[in-house]
Structure 1
Amino acid sequence: MDTFLDRLPDTRRPRLWLALLCLALWLPGFFSIPPGDRDESRFAQASRQMLDTGDYVRIRLGEEERNKKPVGIHWAQAAIVHALEATRLGSRSDIWAYRGASLIGALLAVLASFHWGRALVGRRQAFVAAALLASCLVLVVETHIAKTDAALLAAITAAMGLMGRAYLAPETFTARQAAGFWLSLGIGVLLKGPIAPMVPLLAGLTLAAADRSWRTGAPWLRALRPAWGVPLMIACALPWFIAIGIATEGRFFTQAVGDDMLGKVGSGGEQHWGPPGLYTLIFGITAFPAAFFVLRALPAAWNARLQPSVRFLLAWVVPVWLLFEAVATKLPHYTLPVFPALTLLAARWVLDPLAPQPGRWLRWLAMAALWGVALGLPLAVVGLVYYLEAGKIDPFALLALAAGIALALAVTQYMRGGHEGRAALAAPILAIPFFAAILGGVLPRLDPVWIAPRVAAALAGAAPDLPIPVPPDRFGIAGFHEPSLLFATGGATRLLRDGTAAADFLAEAPGRIVAVGNRDEARFREEAAARGITPRELGLVTGINYSRGRWLTLQLYRVD
């Protein structure tokens, strides 16, 4: 094992080994975890409705416009689903088909970290950094969610890698490389608006201030050729922005910029508020197990800030991190665009035998982050299963605990022996069974949290004559309106306001089926009796709506 770890960074096929590591880390649970209630199902269902309607300009969720993010991820998801259906490997009803864009984006980000990281920190270091990035908890989770952030990371990593080349060697930076930089940013704009160009912009301003480039000019900026590069970036996204502006009569820009983007800056959008410093506080969790090495490498990185490559990586990290700390809305994945730079700094320290060691307090902090997550996350999963499954102890949760202990022990022993390089490669490899046990073993079988697919299964069992996705005006539901339900039963599902609306829906036409939550049950029965109908019970679904943090019982009804 030790010899393997020593030789791995010098492998002749680094991209193949990195790809295999990524697949081993990410595939458990990729196919089996049901669609998440909120963001994932919103993106997937909107892409599915594009496929169903053939309208690849407007973004709709059910009967409503979804004017929040640009169209890039929906096009990527639709293209993957088309390819899977053409080869009969998957269908538009499979949630994993929409996750393909996230998995491919994450893989490209890891490979881009290695490819362009070689010029910044060296080949062996870039390999270790890419392996650490692949194992970061937040990226592992993002590969299992069908939304924008893993694909956005690929665009930003490619752009920043090219910018790093321009910064280190502007005289050899070609027009072709400059075009790649601006095209990467253009793709990023189509994925998530201004976030992609914001990262190099902040890094460039920081470098200009650190280098005092306003006096002599910035050679790297001239090498990037912004005179034609900025128009190229705009041209990537402008046709769709014009089309969506016409299709929605300007509503997209009003809602996407005014409501979504600016609303998140000033207040906690969708109840995701967090105080400044929150990302720093949870970094040990979001970047586990790489956070252990990043934390220990920070003093050495700061001491070497006069070196051009380190200065560039710090300029990539610091302003973006501070900006997200200042923004009121906080989600764990928001700082993901700086993770490649952090792992490159970590790998540079890990493989430098002369690098200074951090102070005692930072060593203890890194150790606490490593052991805290390695033990705390599996124990939290054990407790979650015990609570949701009425005292059940899941063997996969215990397996995750054992894997976490093995990971933390191995890293600790290697570090005590002075083998930082072995520790940095052992951590991603030993994270494979850790994540596999949780994502592939526990989560797919945690039935109480997956309400939507169980409603669809109950509907199919109770009414075999009703196709799924359901046709318009055949199925309605009151008491559970999560987007996952639309993905499970179809965009034509009627989302009913309360028990009265459920009774009205059932009484309006024969053959309809309605699901009613326990909070609306009494009113539904009263209104049904008032309308002279006698609903027949078809099935019962009980679970926890984890987005709202409360237990829910749904009863299916039909009038004979």
Structure 2
Amino acid sequence: MSPVHAHPHDRRRFWLLMLIALVIVGAGIGLRDPWPSDEPRFALAAKQMVEGGDWMFPHRGSELYADKPPVLMWAEAASFELVRNWRIAFLLPSLLAALGTLALVYDLGRRLWSREAGLYGAAALLLAFQFVYQTKRAQIDPLVMFLITAGNWGLLRHLLLGPHWRAYWLGCFCAGLGVITKGVGFLPLLLLLPYAFARRRGWEGATTMGTGNALRWWLGPLAVLAAIALWLVPMLLAARAHADDPAYAAYVRDILFHQTADRYARSWGHIHSPFYYVPIVLFSWLPLSLAYPGTLPRWWRALKAKDARVLLPLAWVGLVLLFFSIPSGKRDVYILPALPMVALASAPFLPELLQTRWLRTAGLAFIGLFGTLLFVVGAYALLAHPPFAAHWAEQRGFDGGARALFGWLAAIGAAQLALAAWLRLPRAAWAVGGGMVALWLGWSFGIAPLLNDSSSAAGLMARARAQLGPGDRIGLVAWKEQNLLMLDRPATDFGFTRPWTEQFAAAVAWQAQDPAHRWLFAQEPAMGNCVRRERALDLGHANRREWWMFKADAVIPGCTPDPAAEATDAEVGE
């Protein structure tokens, strides 16, 4: 049977997989708020788009936000316009990106090999830890992963199953959309390098394009530029209309140069060694990475047989890893777009490998050890009340429900151990799948809601709102995005990237204009010795920081906080 023409049973299996993915990735949506560090930043910018009407230039409070292009923020704002609920809207783009990526991997697998391969490739991707962990968060990377995978889908259809020029142009257009989502969206174009090698060496499966197609090839880069122009041209025109405001010129310089080539060439954060991604590929891609001892020799045999279907995705993954290993700044999420192609390259071999005793044993051992770890840690914290548990709760500002949280850990571990004991070696793959489902459902419905008040600053900002009487206003000093987002009422800020000492001075002057009705909200280091603590309100610990509110009578006149305190905040992180 042709891989394109499906039997009803095949269709049912695909839609069942998508339903399972919807349950796993979608579980918990609506039960938590955005968590630092990235989620509140993008949700705040999206919310300000909806409330302020400026969709071209993202804002972070009163400042323009130039760290990332606005595509994810547009997606979150558009999602809110559809569902009218921010707890759902901020996670909806990631959910849709996850489902779209799975469908693309399935479709490539069925076209390159068989529907069974497509199903196994998508299922392996769904079980991979990093895939679900990231797609249950509202960062840019799940959307970038989808657009890069869509670019790969178009190029691979053309380069391996073509010629299919429309798929090629569509893939290039998706790469352009990836660029205006996050600068690395151009990565699908790297597939042209292994394709050129395969064509020159006569590899099986590399499409012969014929002659006289130069114009068609060049339409690909034009499609990339057309996608980029959808945002770039209106943004430049709008910035020009604000020529009298230097903030807009600075925005253009920052987003086009400082946050792209300059950031790649001279990284200023997350500094790691060139081998940083090795443990990510080994451990964050579990349980898919358990198959490496079986897939590696099979990949090697396929490469020796000059099978371009294996060469192109694997060579592309290698180029992506090399690209992100060169700069000193590295984060585990950077290589997330490579994971779908690893799942695709593994797909034709997984049905055979899952019949081997060694892989079933490895899978059962993995879920058994994982379950044991969770159960032991949870039960020990519940019964012995060790110092590490109390210290963790204090550091996270986790006021209540700690026993329930550790109880959830123990319950998830017990479920994984029960699945391993019940299904055992013959059905080890089901034990692994069920164990990962138990992990994500327990996290989504149990642990995340318990952590939400402290992790999102919802509890902190509820305490701040409770202090405000009718007619009172609040100003923010040395604030974080989650503070303004979760305050959920108008506030005055004095800049975000502005030095704390300048923020404090401007805030005190603002407060002095109406001392009876104006409060200041600040994290403790920014206050220095310039605020009398006995006259201020201690709001408690959240996001690893201490937060206070105070009126004008708590401020020591003429005092300036120590500017060195701001440097310590960068060490705290989120």
- Shared fold per TM-score greater than 0.5: yes
3-state SS, counterpart of residue 91 of structure 2:
helix
CA distance in structure 2 between the partners assigned to 1:376 and 1:116 by the alignment: 37
Give the percent of matched residue pairs that are identical in Structure 1 and Structure 2: 24
- Calculate the aligned-residue CA RMSD, in Å: 3.7
**C-alpha displacement of 1:423:** 4.3
Are 1:321 and 2:321 an aligned pair? yes
3-state SS, counterpart of residue 90 of structure 2:
helix
CA distance in structure 2 between the partners assigned to 1:211 and 1:357 by the alignment: 38
CA distance in structure 1 between the partners assigned to 2:432 and 2:30 by the alignment: 25
**C-alpha displacement of 1:130:** 0.8
Contact residue 189 and residue 237 of structure 1 kept, 8 A: yes
Q: Which residue of 2 aligns with 1:387?
A: 391
Cα 1:410–1:276 shift into 2, 3 Å? farther
Q: Give the counterpart of 1:431 among 426, 431, 436.
A: 436
Q: Which residue of 1 aligns with 2:245?
A: none
CA distance in structure 1 between the partners assigned to 2:539 and 2:456 by the alignment: 7
Q: Which residue of 2 aligns with 1:508?
A: 513
Q: Give the counterpart of 2:173 among 162, 165, 183.
A: 183
Q: Which residue of 1 aligns with 2:567?
A: none
Deviations 1:185-216 (A, max 9, x none): 232223223x2222x2222212323442699x
**C-alpha displacement of 1:253:** 4.6
Contact residue 44 and residue 95 of structure 1 kept, 8 A: no
Cα 1:514–1:49 shift into 2, 3 Å? same
Contact residue 178 and residue 225 of structure 1 kept, 8 A: no
**C-alpha displacement of 1:378:** 7.2
Q: Which residue of 2 aligns with 1:340?
A: 340
**C-alpha displacement of 1:511:** 1.0
Cα 1:425–1:227 shift into 2, 3 Å? farther
The one-letter amino acid of 1:542's match is G
Are 1:557 and 2:550 an aligned pair? yes
Q: Which residue of 1 aligns with 2:276?
A: 278
**C-alpha displacement of 1:520:** 4.9
CA distance in structure 2 between the partners assigned to 1:79 and 1:150 by the alignment: 17
TM-score by length of 2: 0.78
CA distance in structure 2 between the partners assigned to 1:208 and 1:356 by the alignment: 36
CA distance in structure 2 between the partners assigned to 1:385 and 1:448 by the alignment: 18
**C-alpha displacement of 1:294:** 4.3
Cα 1:387–1:24 shift into 2, 3 Å? farther
Contact residue 506 and residue 559 of structure 1 kept, 8 A: yes
Q: Give the counterpart of 2:529 among 498, 523, 532.
A: 523
CA distance in structure 2 between the partners assigned to 1:224 and 1:408 by the alignment: 57
3-state SS, counterpart of residue 225 of structure 1:
helix
**C-alpha displacement of 1:218:** 6.7
CA distance in structure 2 between the partners assigned to 1:9 and 1:282 by the alignment: 38
Q: Which residue of 2 aligns with 1:126?
A: 118
Cα 1:493–1:254 shift into 2, 3 Å? same
Q: Which residue of 2 aligns with 1:288?
A: 286
The one-letter amino acid of 1:190's match is I
Contact residue 116 and residue 161 of structure 1 kept, 8 A: yes
**C-alpha displacement of 1:124:** 0.9
Are 1:17 and 2:22 an aligned pair? no
CA distance in structure 2 between the partners assigned to 1:9 and 1:351 by the alignment: 20
**C-alpha displacement of 1:118:** 0.8
Segments of structure 1 that go 5 or more residues without pairing to the other structure are 1-7, 468-473, 529-534
Q: Which residue of 1 aligns with 2:185?
A: 196
Cα 1:119–1:183 shift into 2, 3 Å? same
Cα 1:482–1:299 shift into 2, 3 Å? farther
Q: Give the counterpart of 2:159 among 156, 167, 171.
A: 167
Contact residue 178 and residue 223 of structure 1 kept, 8 A: no
Contact residue 109 and residue 347 of structure 2 kept, 8 A: no
Contact residue 284 and residue 369 of structure 1 kept, 8 A: no
3-state SS, counterpart of residue 151 of structure 1:
helix
Contact residue 516 and residue 556 of structure 1 kept, 8 A: yes
3-state SS, counterpart of residue 513 of structure 1:
strand
Contact residue 128 and residue 424 of structure 1 kept, 8 A: no
Moved more, 96-105 or 390-399: 390-399
CA distance in structure 2 between the partners assigned to 1:224 and 1:132 by the alignment: 39
TM-score by length of 1: 0.80
Aligned residue pairs total: 511
Q: Give the counterpart of 2:297 among 296, 299, 308.
A: 299
**C-alpha displacement of 1:342:** 1.1
**C-alpha displacement of 1:276:** 1.3
**C-alpha displacement of 1:10:** 5.3
Cα 1:105–1:392 shift into 2, 3 Å? closer
3-state SS, counterpart of residue 315 of structure 2:
helix
CA distance in structure 1 between the partners assigned to 2:89 and 2:75 by the alignment: 11
Contact residue 486 and residue 493 of structure 1 kept, 8 A: no
The one-letter amino acid of 1:514's match is L
The one-letter amino acid of 1:307's match is D
Q: Which residue of 1 aligns with 2:133?
A: 141
Q: Which residue of 2 aligns with 1:238?
A: 229
Moved more, 396-405 or 121-130: 396-405
The one-letter amino acid of 1:400's match is I
Contact residue 477 and residue 514 of structure 1 kept, 8 A: yes
CA distance in structure 2 between the partners assigned to 1:456 and 1:257 by the alignment: 35
**C-alpha displacement of 1:514:** 1.8
Cα 1:556–1:287 shift into 2, 3 Å? same
The one-letter amino acid of 2:518's match is R
Are 1:351 and 2:342 an aligned pair? no
3-state SS, counterpart of residue 83 of structure 1:
helix
Cα 1:466–1:488 shift into 2, 3 Å? farther
3-state SS, counterpart of residue 514 of structure 1:
strand
Q: Which residue of 1 aligns with 2:560?
A: none
Contact residue 142 and residue 149 of structure 1 kept, 8 A: yes
Q: Which residue of 2 aligns with 1:152?
A: 144
CA distance in structure 2 between the partners assigned to 1:357 and 1:341 by the alignment: 26
CA distance in structure 2 between the partners assigned to 1:116 and 1:357 by the alignment: 28
Deviations 1:15-60 (A, max 9, x none): 4212211122123333223312221111111111111221221122
**C-alpha displacement of 1:407:** 6.2
CA distance in structure 1 between the partners assigned to 2:292 and 2:261 by the alignment: 32
The one-letter amino acid of 1:482's match is K
Q: Which residue of 2 aligns with 1:541?
A: 539
Cα 1:388–1:544 shift into 2, 3 Å? farther
Cα 1:323–1:159 shift into 2, 3 Å? same
Q: Which residue of 2 aligns with 1:531?
A: none
Deviations 1:244-284 (A, max 9, x none): 22334554452124322234423444x31111121111224
